[in-house]
Protein backbone atom coordinates (compact mmCIF):
# COMPACT_ATOMS: atom_id res chain seq x y z
CA UNK A 1 0.00 0.00 0.00
CA UNK A 2 1.27 3.48 -0.84
CA UNK A 3 2.55 5.59 2.08
CA UNK A 4 0.02 8.29 1.26
CA UNK A 5 -2.74 5.71 1.35
CA UNK A 6 -1.62 4.64 4.84
CA UNK A 7 -1.59 8.17 6.20
CA UNK A 8 -4.30 8.94 8.74
CA UNK A 9 -4.53 12.49 7.39
CA UNK A 10 -6.21 11.15 4.26
CA UNK A 11 -9.90 10.51 4.88
CA UNK A 12 -11.50 7.58 3.03
CA UNK A 13 -14.22 10.02 1.98
CA UNK A 14 -11.67 11.60 -0.38
CA UNK A 15 -11.76 8.45 -2.52
CA UNK A 16 -15.53 8.47 -3.14
CA UNK A 17 -16.05 9.35 -6.79
CA UNK A 18 -19.03 11.46 -7.72
CA UNK A 19 -17.76 12.26 -11.23
CA UNK A 20 -18.10 15.98 -10.62
CA UNK A 21 -14.36 16.02 -10.03
CA UNK A 22 -11.75 16.98 -12.57
CA UNK A 23 -10.94 14.51 -15.31
CA UNK A 24 -7.61 12.74 -15.57
CA UNK A 25 -6.45 15.00 -18.39
CA UNK A 26 -7.36 18.40 -16.92
CA UNK A 27 -4.30 18.72 -14.66
CA UNK A 28 -1.75 17.99 -17.39
CA UNK A 29 0.47 21.00 -18.03
CA UNK A 30 1.16 22.38 -21.49
CA UNK A 31 4.91 21.82 -21.13
CA UNK A 32 4.35 18.08 -21.60
CA UNK A 33 2.97 18.85 -25.07
CA UNK A 34 6.56 19.59 -26.08
CA UNK A 35 6.95 15.84 -26.53
CA UNK A 36 4.81 16.20 -29.66
CA UNK A 37 7.49 18.28 -31.42
CA UNK A 38 10.13 15.51 -31.74
CA UNK A 39 7.45 12.86 -32.31
CA UNK A 40 5.89 14.78 -35.22
CA UNK A 41 9.31 15.84 -36.54
CA UNK A 42 10.67 12.28 -36.67
CA UNK A 43 7.43 10.93 -38.17
CA UNK A 44 7.40 13.73 -40.74
CA UNK A 45 11.03 13.02 -41.62
CA UNK A 46 10.18 9.37 -42.35
CA UNK A 47 7.20 10.47 -44.41
CA UNK A 48 9.29 12.94 -46.43
CA UNK A 49 11.96 10.30 -47.05
CA UNK A 50 9.38 7.84 -48.38
CA UNK A 51 7.85 10.50 -50.65
CA UNK A 52 11.16 11.51 -52.22
CA UNK A 53 11.99 7.83 -52.61
CA UNK A 54 8.87 7.40 -54.75
CA UNK A 55 9.76 10.43 -56.86
CA UNK A 56 13.25 9.06 -57.45
CA UNK A 57 12.15 5.62 -58.65
CA UNK A 58 8.88 6.45 -60.44
CA UNK A 59 8.05 8.94 -63.17
CA UNK A 60 5.74 11.82 -62.13
CA UNK A 61 3.41 11.08 -65.05
CA UNK A 62 3.05 7.55 -63.78
CA UNK A 63 2.33 8.75 -60.24
CA UNK A 64 -0.23 11.41 -61.16
CA UNK A 65 -3.18 9.04 -61.91
CA UNK A 66 -2.71 7.25 -58.59
CA UNK A 67 -1.89 10.38 -56.58
CA UNK A 68 -4.98 10.05 -54.27
CA UNK A 69 -3.90 6.51 -53.33
CA UNK A 70 -0.33 7.71 -52.74
CA UNK A 71 -1.52 10.49 -50.43
CA UNK A 72 -3.73 8.04 -48.55
CA UNK A 73 -0.80 5.67 -48.17
CA UNK A 74 1.43 8.49 -46.95
CA UNK A 75 -1.12 9.29 -44.25
CA UNK A 76 -0.86 5.67 -43.09
CA UNK A 77 2.93 5.97 -43.07
CA UNK A 78 2.74 9.10 -40.91
CA UNK A 79 0.30 7.54 -38.42
CA UNK A 80 2.28 4.33 -37.97
CA UNK A 81 5.56 6.28 -37.76
CA UNK A 82 3.98 8.34 -34.97
CA UNK A 83 2.98 5.15 -33.15
CA UNK A 84 6.48 3.71 -33.37
CA UNK A 85 8.15 6.96 -32.29
CA UNK A 86 5.73 7.38 -29.38
CA UNK A 87 6.41 3.82 -28.26
CA UNK A 88 10.17 4.45 -28.26
CA UNK A 89 9.71 7.59 -26.16
CA UNK A 90 7.45 5.65 -23.79
CA UNK A 91 9.99 2.84 -23.35
CA UNK A 92 12.66 5.41 -22.51
CA UNK A 93 10.46 7.17 -19.93
CA UNK A 94 9.42 3.86 -18.33
CA UNK A 95 13.08 2.92 -17.94
CA UNK A 96 13.59 6.12 -15.94
CA UNK A 97 10.48 5.68 -13.81
CA UNK A 98 8.39 2.52 -13.95
CA UNK A 99 4.57 3.00 -13.81
CA UNK A 100 2.95 1.78 -10.61
CA UNK A 101 -0.43 1.65 -8.95
CA UNK A 102 -1.35 3.65 -5.87
CA UNK A 103 -2.65 6.97 -4.61
CA UNK A 104 -0.36 9.95 -5.17
CA UNK A 105 -0.40 13.70 -4.69
CA UNK A 106 -1.61 15.48 -7.83
CA UNK A 107 1.25 17.95 -7.64
CA UNK A 108 4.18 18.59 -9.96
CA UNK A 109 6.57 17.90 -7.09
CA UNK A 110 5.30 14.30 -6.95
CA UNK A 111 7.47 12.13 -9.21
CA UNK A 112 4.72 9.57 -9.91
CA UNK A 113 2.28 12.29 -10.93
CA UNK A 114 4.80 13.99 -13.21
CA UNK A 115 5.71 10.79 -15.07
CA UNK A 116 2.02 9.81 -15.30
CA UNK A 117 1.41 13.13 -17.10
CA UNK A 118 4.24 12.36 -19.52
CA UNK A 119 2.89 8.88 -20.29
CA UNK A 120 -0.63 10.20 -20.88
CA UNK A 121 0.51 12.81 -23.38
CA UNK A 122 2.86 10.51 -25.28
CA UNK A 123 0.23 7.81 -25.68
CA UNK A 124 -2.59 10.19 -26.50
CA UNK A 125 -1.29 11.45 -29.84
CA UNK A 126 -0.65 7.97 -31.25
CA UNK A 127 -3.94 6.46 -30.06
CA UNK A 128 -5.94 9.47 -31.28
CA UNK A 129 -4.43 9.30 -34.78
CA UNK A 130 -4.84 5.55 -35.12
CA UNK A 131 -8.41 5.49 -33.80
CA UNK A 132 -9.43 7.82 -36.63
CA UNK A 133 -8.17 5.55 -39.39
CA UNK A 134 -11.02 3.99 -41.43
CA UNK A 135 -10.22 0.44 -40.32
CA UNK A 136 -12.33 -1.51 -37.80
CA UNK A 137 -9.50 -3.21 -35.90
CA UNK A 138 -6.83 -0.51 -35.57
CA UNK A 139 -8.13 0.93 -32.30
CA UNK A 140 -7.69 -2.45 -30.61
CA UNK A 141 -4.19 -2.70 -32.07
CA UNK A 142 -3.39 0.80 -30.79
CA UNK A 143 -4.46 0.02 -27.23
CA UNK A 144 -2.58 -3.30 -27.32
CA UNK A 145 0.52 -1.52 -28.64
CA UNK A 146 0.57 0.80 -25.64
CA UNK A 147 -0.05 -1.84 -22.98
CA UNK A 148 -3.75 -2.71 -22.67
CA UNK A 149 -4.07 -6.48 -22.14
CA UNK A 150 -6.72 -7.51 -24.67
CA UNK A 151 -7.15 -9.60 -27.80
CA UNK A 152 -8.97 -8.94 -31.07
CA UNK A 153 -12.13 -10.71 -29.89
CA UNK A 154 -13.01 -7.62 -27.83
CA UNK A 155 -14.63 -4.51 -29.30
CA UNK A 156 -14.34 -0.81 -28.49
CA UNK A 157 -17.15 1.03 -30.27
CA UNK A 158 -15.85 4.60 -30.36
CA UNK A 159 -14.92 4.34 -26.68
CA UNK A 160 -11.91 5.65 -24.76
CA UNK A 161 -9.83 3.29 -22.65
CA UNK A 162 -6.84 4.28 -20.54
CA UNK A 163 -3.71 2.79 -22.01
CA UNK A 164 -2.20 1.22 -18.89
CA UNK A 165 -3.35 -1.07 -16.09
CA UNK A 166 -6.33 -2.33 -18.10
CA UNK A 167 -6.98 -6.07 -18.48
CA UNK A 168 -9.70 -7.49 -20.75
CA UNK A 169 -10.87 -11.09 -20.96
CA UNK A 170 -12.32 -12.57 -24.15
CA UNK A 171 -15.16 -10.96 -26.10
CA UNK A 172 -15.51 -7.85 -23.97
CA UNK A 173 -17.64 -5.11 -25.52
CA UNK A 174 -17.29 -1.43 -24.56
CA UNK A 175 -20.13 0.67 -25.94
CA UNK A 176 -20.04 3.95 -27.83
CA UNK A 177 -18.92 6.94 -25.82
CA UNK A 178 -17.94 4.87 -22.77
CA UNK A 179 -14.80 5.78 -20.81
CA UNK A 180 -12.68 3.24 -18.95
CA UNK A 181 -10.21 4.88 -16.55
CA UNK A 182 -7.46 3.15 -14.64
CA UNK A 183 -6.34 6.59 -13.47
CA UNK A 184 -8.30 9.57 -12.22
CA UNK A 185 -7.67 12.80 -10.34
CA UNK A 186 -9.98 13.30 -7.38
CA UNK A 187 -9.42 16.47 -5.40
CA UNK A 188 -5.74 16.58 -4.47
CA UNK A 189 -5.00 12.98 -5.37
CA UNK A 190 -4.12 10.93 -8.42
CA UNK A 191 -5.54 7.41 -8.20
CA UNK A 192 -4.02 4.67 -10.36
CA UNK A 193 -5.56 1.21 -10.03
CA UNK A 194 -5.93 -1.66 -12.50
CA UNK A 195 -9.36 -2.33 -14.05
CA UNK A 196 -10.23 -5.95 -14.85
CA UNK A 197 -12.99 -7.14 -17.19
CA UNK A 198 -13.71 -10.87 -17.23
CA UNK A 199 -14.93 -12.82 -20.28
CA UNK A 200 -18.14 -11.81 -22.08
CA UNK A 201 -18.71 -8.59 -20.14
CA UNK A 202 -20.53 -5.63 -21.70
CA UNK A 203 -20.16 -1.93 -20.87
CA UNK A 204 -23.10 0.17 -22.04
CA UNK A 205 -22.69 3.37 -24.04
CA UNK A 206 -21.69 6.62 -22.31
CA UNK A 207 -20.76 4.74 -19.14
CA UNK A 208 -17.78 5.63 -16.94
CA UNK A 209 -15.57 3.02 -15.28
CA UNK A 210 -13.55 4.22 -12.29
CA UNK A 211 -10.06 2.97 -11.39
CA UNK A 212 -9.90 -0.41 -9.65
CA UNK A 213 -13.21 -1.66 -11.03
CA UNK A 214 -13.51 -5.44 -11.41
CA UNK A 215 -16.36 -6.80 -13.54
CA UNK A 216 -17.14 -10.50 -13.35
CA UNK A 217 -17.85 -12.89 -16.19
CA UNK A 218 -21.09 -12.41 -18.16
CA UNK A 219 -21.96 -9.20 -16.31
CA UNK A 220 -23.42 -6.11 -17.95
CA UNK A 221 -23.19 -2.46 -16.91
CA UNK A 222 -26.06 -0.52 -18.43
CA UNK A 223 -25.75 2.65 -20.50
CA UNK A 224 -25.20 5.98 -18.71
CA UNK A 225 -23.94 4.15 -15.61
CA UNK A 226 -20.79 4.53 -13.52
CA UNK A 227 -18.74 2.56 -11.02
CA UNK A 228 -16.94 3.65 -7.85
CA UNK A 229 -13.27 3.28 -7.04
CA UNK A 230 -12.42 -0.44 -6.55
CA UNK A 231 -16.04 -1.48 -7.10
CA UNK A 232 -16.67 -5.18 -7.68
CA UNK A 233 -19.46 -6.16 -10.06
CA UNK A 234 -20.31 -9.81 -9.44
CA UNK A 235 -20.46 -12.22 -12.36
CA UNK A 236 -23.72 -13.02 -14.11
CA UNK A 237 -25.59 -9.84 -13.15
CA UNK A 238 -26.94 -6.73 -14.88
CA UNK A 239 -25.93 -3.50 -13.15
CA UNK A 240 -27.30 -0.03 -13.70
CA UNK A 241 -27.11 3.40 -12.07
CA UNK A 242 -24.72 5.97 -10.62
CA UNK A 243 -22.95 4.11 -9.15
CA UNK A 244 -24.02 0.78 -10.66
CA UNK A 245 -26.20 -1.43 -8.45
CA UNK A 246 -27.61 -4.90 -9.06
CA UNK A 247 -30.64 -4.72 -11.31
CA UNK A 248 -31.34 -8.39 -12.09
CA UNK A 249 -29.51 -11.62 -12.98
CA UNK A 250 -28.25 -11.89 -16.54
CA UNK A 251 -30.53 -14.73 -17.69
CA UNK A 252 -29.07 -14.64 -21.17
CA UNK A 253 -25.79 -15.93 -19.75
CA UNK A 254 -27.25 -19.27 -18.62
CA UNK A 255 -24.74 -21.91 -19.51
CA UNK A 256 -24.51 -25.68 -19.09
CA UNK A 257 -22.00 -28.22 -20.32
CA UNK A 258 -22.61 -28.55 -24.09
CA UNK A 259 -26.14 -27.13 -23.65
CA UNK A 260 -27.37 -23.72 -24.70
CA UNK A 261 -30.78 -22.47 -23.60
CA UNK A 262 -32.83 -20.57 -26.18
CA UNK A 263 -36.09 -18.73 -25.76
CA UNK A 264 -38.85 -18.15 -28.28
CA UNK A 265 -40.19 -14.69 -27.49
CA UNK A 266 -43.41 -15.12 -29.51
CA UNK A 267 -44.52 -18.41 -27.93
CA UNK A 268 -42.88 -17.68 -24.55
CA UNK A 269 -41.23 -21.09 -24.51
CA UNK A 270 -37.75 -22.25 -23.56
CA UNK A 271 -35.86 -25.14 -25.15
CA UNK A 272 -32.37 -26.63 -24.97
CA UNK A 273 -29.92 -27.31 -27.77
CA UNK A 274 -26.79 -29.42 -27.39
CA UNK A 275 -23.91 -27.28 -28.53
CA UNK A 276 -20.45 -26.35 -27.27
CA UNK A 277 -20.53 -22.70 -26.27
CA UNK A 278 -18.07 -20.20 -24.85
CA UNK A 279 -15.22 -22.55 -25.63
CA UNK A 280 -12.14 -21.38 -27.51
CA UNK A 281 -11.12 -23.53 -30.47
CA UNK A 282 -7.65 -24.20 -29.04
CA UNK A 283 -9.17 -25.52 -25.77
CA UNK A 284 -11.80 -27.92 -27.12
CA UNK A 285 -9.47 -30.91 -26.76
CA UNK A 286 -9.32 -30.26 -22.98
CA UNK A 287 -13.05 -30.97 -22.49
What is the pLDDT of the chain when averaged over all its residues?
79
Domains of the chain (ranges plus CATH)? Answer: 3-253 (2.160.10.10), 255-287 (no CATH)
pLDDT tens digits for range 200-218: 999 999 999 999 999 999 9
Secondary structure (DSSP) of 142-165: HHHHTT-B--TTSEESS-EE-SSS
Q: Where are the beta strands (DSSP E) in the chain?
A: 102-105, 155-156, 160-161, 166-168, 173-174, 179-180, 183-186, 189-192, 195-197, 202-203, 208-209, 214-215, 220-221, 232-233, 237-240, 245-249, 259-264, 269-274
Q: Is the peptide bond before 157 cis (omega within 30 degrees of 0)?
A: no
pLDDT tens digits for range 161-194: 888 899 999 999 999 889 999 998 888 889 999 9
Q: Does residue 286 register a pLDDT over 80?
A: no
Amino acid sequence: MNELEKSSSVDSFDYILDFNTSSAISRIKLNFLLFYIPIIWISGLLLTSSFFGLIEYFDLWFMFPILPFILFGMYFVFVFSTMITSKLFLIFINLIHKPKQGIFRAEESDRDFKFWCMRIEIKKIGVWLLKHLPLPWVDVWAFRWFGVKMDFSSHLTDAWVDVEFIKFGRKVTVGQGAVVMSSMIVGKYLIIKECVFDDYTVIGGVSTIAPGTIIGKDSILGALSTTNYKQLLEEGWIFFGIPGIKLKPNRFAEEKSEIIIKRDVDTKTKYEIRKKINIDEDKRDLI
